[in-house]
Structure 1
Amino acid sequence: MTTPTAFTASLPPAERAAYGRKARERAPRSCHGWYEAGQRRDDPVGLLERQSGERVPALVPIRYGRMLESPFRFYRGAAAVMAADLAPLPSSGLQVQLCGDAHPMNFRLLASPERRLVFDINDFDETLPGPFEWDVKRLAAGFVIAARANGFSAKEQNRTVRACVRAYRERMREFAGMPALDIWYAQDDADHVGQLLAAEAEEEAGHRLRDAAAKARTRTHSRAFAKLTRVTAEGRRIAPDPPLITPLGDLLADPSEARREEELRSLVNGYARTLQPERRHLLRHYRLVDMARKVVGVGSVGTRCWVLLLLGRDDDDPLLLQAKEASESVLAPHTGGERHDNQGRRVVTGQRLIQTTSDIFLGWTHVTGLDGKGRDFYVRQLWDWKGIARPETMGPGLLSLFARLCGACLARAHARSGDPVALAAYLGGGDRFDRALAEFAQSYADQNERDHEALAAACRSDRITAARL
């Protein structure tokens, strides 16, 4: 994977700043406020249908059903639609390693390998190098959509977006003056977040953070083990909850799935070879005892996702892994960038580049399926101190604070992979970029509502089938 900063990293700071300011000539900051669907815009339902063609057919209706629940849920599943909409817009040309799906629900509390809670990005399925503003625009529009779902006024919606983008811009200016190693080591741990909330004198926010941190610490592999497994005559096995969780044994009842176990065992063996030696040694302490297909998320529904139950010394020594299919990034058709020999490796490499702390069991593999098709997967632990934000439960003040946290977090991710000096120079010290993104977010939220209605119309006309689960 090519480092996005390859061109500017070796230049003196003054030249890097000049490079950033010159980018305003090809994409003035005010131009980012414009969005209007072109006459040749792709049919959003058609884009989703093309994605669905590569997924497990029986699960696709669940994806549509979840996306139909609200415009915000539709947005979470429509990264491909937005990527196609962003591609024709003016580009700054300032490259970073993009998250690729930087909506508000993909920022959360996570556990570091040192067992500290940190606030970071959590989804990298679409990661790829690209213009920094694509991530910022997806995050900004997501906050308007979330704010609308909460019944906020237009003024409150704009205040939330501008808080997010201002935090991104101001933190990027901080990173522009920092040594590279200090940027790399920077983290947003729970204590830092708590100090920010205390400085804002937000008692409710501080209370919510403490509750979220406490809840995150309960979301351990042991709790996942207790929730997802049961005792059987053969020992601990994954408990069925079809169609959301379907153990391998139930799938093997279908003759077409007869070789599935062999396929999945090869998945684990191939994955182990991608781990660092000491972590591969740790994995050898566990044996694979059961597997199940699992439905995850919104946009990911229908991709092949497996829960793997491994046991160590005994039934009280579990390890739960999630192996998730990795397809080509939705950004790839629009970036003209490099292609990857393994999409799971793309996800893992991008995650390690922009996330401050990664799961010790993060790896990838390639499997040839029963249909003869090769598929890539990335693997990580299932649950591990994850605290999920709930924007739909936040009032205007709290949502603005959460937006600030997300904006600052995204700046840190981009500063690690891009050139913070050039980015800060492009953004400047004023609020022109902030105001432009607030305009864009409103326009794109309108478009998202139209696309959500288009999916609903496709369901009413029986073009697609949706299942509410």
Structure 2
Amino acid sequence: MTAKKPTADTKKPRPETKKSPADSQPSDAGDGLGGGTTASRFEAFRDLAQARARGQMVFLPRHLTGHERRRHVRQTIREDHEKRIANKDEEAVAKFDKLHKSVFSFFRGTCLLFYRDIAGEDAWMPTVLTLGDVHPENFGVMPSVDNVPIFGPNDFDESFYAPFTWDLKRGATAFMIGAGAEGGKGRKKQRRIAACFVSGYIDAMEQLAADSSEQYQQMRQDNAPTLIRKLIEDSLEDRSHWLARKYHDEYSWGFKADDEHVPITHRLPEFQRALERFVEDNGVEIPDRAGELRVKDVCKRLGQGTASLGLPRYYLKVEGPRQDGTDDIIIEFKHARRSALDGLTPPCDYVVDGDAGRISHAQAVLLVGGDRFYGAAEVDGVAFMVRERAPFRDDIDLDDLSGKQWKKYARICGRSLAQAHALSDEAGLVDHDIEPEILASIGPRELFVDDIISFADDAAQRVREDHEHFRADHELGAFRFIDRVFR
């Protein structure tokens, strides 16, 4: 990863404009299918985003209707899953089946579709390091650097430097869709819940602008709101029980084989070397609980995630100091792919090279005192992001939330997002105080909230219509094929 933060005496570097091989490939590129024969609209959308950012009046995909919109949805999803479709990946089929069943899952699994609809938008707004995929289930409980449970944003796969409003627009849309699909709330209540998310963001940003406390705040069991404290308490489980329940074979040594875990013990030496390189390259301070960092077994993890379903993911079992299987550590290697925002944001001075490096950079910036094993690694030339699995990693059960709890949770997530954005000028690349800029750009609060909610209302309806297009296409076998250019 290379990431440079401009200083007051140094002019910020302009983003690289020369095309790279990845620029002409869709997000799942790299399957060796012959490049030029595979249809990609990456460059066309990059040009569209840049034109929009310059203030030109351009036609966006969200203006499409009827069959033309259906074709756009089909092409975008095919493009975004090119490698998985071409390789006839069974998990890709499982992902499409999952998206078919639920509009909320569809929204979560089609980030590229959402961002192509806002290509180049809000170019005049302050730039921050965005999460990229804000939704109610991308906040949760996870291990801190001290191996205690904390609550905050827990998914940085789509992170990218972009206008701060992009996270608010996706988050507000997500809360509307989630409250409707998972919570059974009507349109008026959906709007109120989404408004709580945006209001929570503004409230927290005002506080952070006044006290600059973003570097020190950490939501733990002892200081969390009741709703989050209950989530943390419910997530706690003894490590030995957790390992026995989820991972151990009958000897408490290797991984058990089931529908989710496929042991690949023959690759143990390879992943031992990869883990050692990761620790060295990322400067990880090995905690005592990791023992001698000895990998006991490796498995391929199946069926996890929504957007990432079908991408390679591996678990490493690291032997703990007791050497009896009761205190082992589980380290995850997850394939890192290009952000859905890449090529769609307004031109930006802040660039982080490499997908795994970008994700690792985002976690280090946006989460105070996060997982010490979070970072970037490479296995056989493929980029992976690395993190620790823990007994207390968990997220909210949306089905169980009452109307009042939906509003409280939305406000909490809005506040958490504001803290993450405020950290962009601390550990991130932003070289000036960002909170006052964000507050100034918001202007009249009621108008800003109304603008975001109105956008989200339109976007949520578009997602529902897109989901129907997707369902019809999926039932006709559309996603067993990729688009190719024939001459």
TM-superposed CA distance for 1:277, in Å, is 5.4
Query: Is 2:167 the partner of 1:160?
Result: no
Q: Distance in 1 between matches of 2:351 and 2:127?
A: 17
Conserved in 1, the CA contact under 8 Å of 2:315 and 2:333?
yes
Q: Distance in 2 between matches of 1:61 and 1:92?
A: 40
> Where in structure 2 are the equivalents of 1:317-466 lying within 5 Å?
317-335=327-345, 336=347, 340-368=352-380, 374-418=381-425, 419-428=434-443, 430-464=445-479
Question: What percentage of residue pairs aligned between the two structures are identical?
Answer: 24
Q: What does the per-residue CA deviation read over 1:167-207, in whole Å, with 9 as the maximum and x for residues that have no partner?
A: 1112111112224xx3211233344432xxxxxxxxxxx4x
Q: Which residue of structure 1 lines up, in the alignment, with residue 15 of structure 2?
A: none
Query: Is 2:107 the partner of 1:89?
Result: no
Change (3 A) 1:37 1:357: farther
Structure 2 counterpart of 1:246, from 262, 275, 295:
262
Higher mean C-alpha displacement, 280-289 vs 353-362: 280-289
TM-superposed CA distance for 1:99, in Å, is 0.6
Query: Is 2:319 the partner of 1:311?
Result: yes
Q: Distance in 2 between matches of 1:231 and 1:444?
A: 46
Change (3 A) 1:341 1:442: closer
Q: Which residue of structure 2 lines up, in the alignment, with residue 43 of structure 1?
A: 72
- Give the TM-score taking structure 2 as reference length: 0.77
TM-superposed CA distance for 1:390, in Å, is 1.8
Q: What does the per-residue CA deviation read over 1:16-57, in whole Å, with 9 as the maximum and x for residues that have no partner?
A: xxxxxxxxxx99xxxxxx994347878223222223223462
Q: Distance in 2 between matches of 1:420 and 1:5?
A: 18
Query: Is 2:310 the partner of 1:302?
Result: yes
Q: What does the per-residue CA deviation read over 1:402-461, in whole Å, with 9 as the maximum and x for residues that have no partner?
A: 000000110010011050110011113531111111111111111111221222112211
Q: Which residue of structure 2 lines up, in the alignment, with residue 113 of structure 1?
A: 145
Q: Secondary structure at the match of 2:285?
A: helix
Q: Secondary structure at the match of 2:161?
A: strand
Q: Structure 1: where are the runs of 5+ without partners?
A: 11-25, 28-33, 195-205, 253-259, 369-373
Q: Distance in 1 between matches of 2:289 and 2:143?
A: 19
Conserved in 1, the CA contact under 8 Å of 2:73 and 2:466?
yes
Q: Distance in 2 between matches of 1:436 and 1:4?
A: 32
TM-superposed CA distance for 1:102, in Å, is 0.9
Q: Which residue of structure 2 lines up, in the alignment, with residue 198 of structure 1?
A: none
Q: Distance in 2 between matches of 1:112 and 1:405?
A: 19
Q: Distance in 1 between matches of 2:7 and 2:164?
A: 15
TM-superposed CA distance for 1:280, in Å, is 7.6
Q: Which residue of structure 2 lines up, in the alignment, with residue 229 of structure 1?
A: 247
Q: Distance in 2 between matches of 1:9 and 1:357?
A: 29
TM-superposed CA distance for 1:134, in Å, is 0.7
Q: Secondary structure at the match of 2:214?
A: helix
Q: Which residue of structure 2 lines up, in the alignment, with residue 74 of structure 1?
A: 106
- Give the TM-score taking structure 1 as reference length: 0.80
Change (3 A) 1:388 1:363: same
Q: Which has the higher helix share?
A: 1
Change (3 A) 1:281 1:222: closer
Q: Distance in 1 between matches of 2:248 and 2:393?
A: 23
Change (3 A) 1:54 1:267: farther
Q: What residue identity is the alignment partner of 2:330?
A: L
Q: What does the per-residue CA deviation read over 1:335-385, in whole Å, with 9 as the maximum and x for residues that have no partner?
A: 3556654321211111110111211222221122xxxxx210111111252
Q: What does the per-residue CA deviation read over 1:82-119, in whole Å, with 9 as the maximum and x for residues that have no partner?
A: 12112143433311001111111101133323455432
Higher mean C-alpha displacement, 454-463 vs 99-108: 454-463
Q: Distance in 2 between matches of 1:139 and 1:123?
A: 13
Conserved in 2, the CA contact under 8 Å of 1:118 and 1:188?
yes
